[in-house]
Amino acid sequence: MFWHLKIILIGKEGLAVIEKNSLLIRTLSFFVMFIIFFVMVYSNNYIFLAFSQFLLFLTSWEILRMLEFKRFINKKVNGSNFLLSKFQVTKYDLILICLINFFVFLLNFQLLSFQILCFILIFVCLLKLSDISVVKIICLIYVTFAFIFLNGMSQNTEFISFIFFIVFFTMIVDVSAYFFGSIIGGPKIMPSISPNKTVAGFIGGIIVPIFFCTIIFFNNSNISNIIYSSFAFSIISQVGDLIESGFKRYCYLKDSSNLIPGHGGLLDRLDSIFALIIFVSIIKLLDYNFFFIV
């Protein structure tokens, strides 16, 4: 009995140490990510373009690795550390994401002939893939369009206002949804996709951002514009999170990778941001005036 109790106590202490270290790692990783984000946003266009291309490559790589893991799920593999596992993307997969990167890069310049050639090469590479699927194409198109819109947004004089609002808005949505979901609990919104997300959290992720935006941007626009826009942004942000959760569930994985210590992969951090970038960019093309632009 004594030894059993001792083992339990040691186990609890060990768990507390692990949780403390995990929180420290998450905090340090967050500050590093914030510093990188801040520096890149205020850098010149060419540095930011190179940085966005690097992110596009890594997020595309994560998608292909996740799908590769799904193909071999029946083998005995440690999925929690699959970034360092033997699952490597195929030669044509690697060529594909390089061509996608090059195509997105060329869109920033007036080089139509090279853009067409690159698009043709992408199509040829897709034909060469033995494991091509609708899911793979949709996922790659999704992240590619997010970066196309991001690069287009970076050419706008209001880019800093756009990107800072999008990033911090998604953070408010995530924190408020987590807080309300943890405190209130209740029924799950989509347990088969994301078992921890509740209806209360989803509603909290809508109400709190609307409240904050109304208070902060009260003098910039009319109230109805703030409320309607914030409501739409909150829904899109949480839908983006659910899309990525559904994809991870499809691939039988908890995290998109272990690339960011304590946080998982890039897709885990950028899921809501991708959805909001695409939505905001499309609405902006329709010449809609946003309340967060001074």
Could you give the C-alpha distances from 211 to 76, 176, 218, in angstroms and in order? 48, 11, 10
Instruction: Classify the C-alpha dihedral 43-32-204-282 as positive or negative.
Output: positive
Q: What are the tens digits of pLDDT across the range 105-147?
A: 988 888 888 788 888 888 887 777 767 788 888 999 999 999 9
Give the pair of three-digit tokens for residue 38. 């801040």
Sorting pLDDT into bands at 50, 70 and 90, what band is 294? low
Q: What are the tens digits of pLDDT across the range 81-108?
A: 445 455 567 778 888 888 899 889 988 8
DSSP secondary structure letters along 13-35: HHHHHHHHHHHHHHHHHHHHHHH
Sorting pLDDT into bands at 50, 70 and 90, what band is 40? confident
pLDDT at 7 (0 to 100) = 38
Q: Are 64 and 98 in contact (CB under 8 A)?
A: no
pLDDT at 173 (0 to 100) = 92
Closest by alpha carbon to 266, among 46, 102, 61? 61
Q: Which of 109-118, 195-204, 232-241, 257-266 has the highest mean pLDDT?
A: 232-241
pLDDT at 211 (0 to 100) = 92
**pTM summary value:** 0.83
pLDDT at 130 (0 to 100) = 66
pLDDT at 206 (0 to 100) = 93
Q: Which of 4-13, 56-65, 86-95 has the lowest mean pLDDT?
A: 4-13
